[in-house]
Amino acid sequence: MVSAGITNQKTVKVTGENTAKALGSGELPVYATPAMIQLIEQTALESVRSELHEEESTVGTYLDIKHTSASPVGIDVTCKTELIEVDRSRLRFKVEVTDTKGEVGTGFHERFIVKNEKFMGKAKSKLS
């Protein structure tokens, strides 16, 4: 059962591939906001995966994130998530992203627990 208090942490290195310049979200070779969002979602997803039934997953539905500092190529970036609220299927996470020099981003992220088959059926129905 998913309950508040679950935490997780994941660290990545800033490389040429996850910069704003490479991802098209900016022109400079610094850690890209889309890469930070991906790290946040992955860290939150992994934190609760073992608590779900085999036929369930979570999907990201909401982000309220500030990207507060640039991180250059070569530095490590760490995301920490804490599940702070569970409301039926809605999971709300507090998020902190740092590099070795301090804060990079903060905010909140929400995910919903879904039944995989039902969710994919609804998504695929858009093709009809």
User: Which residues are marked as active site?
Assistant: 33, 41, 67
Neighbours of 44 (CB within 10 A): 26
**Residues ≥6 apart with Cβ < 8 Å to 41:** 60, 109, 111
* DSSP strands (E only) in the chain: 7-13, 56-67, 76-87, 90-99, 102-115
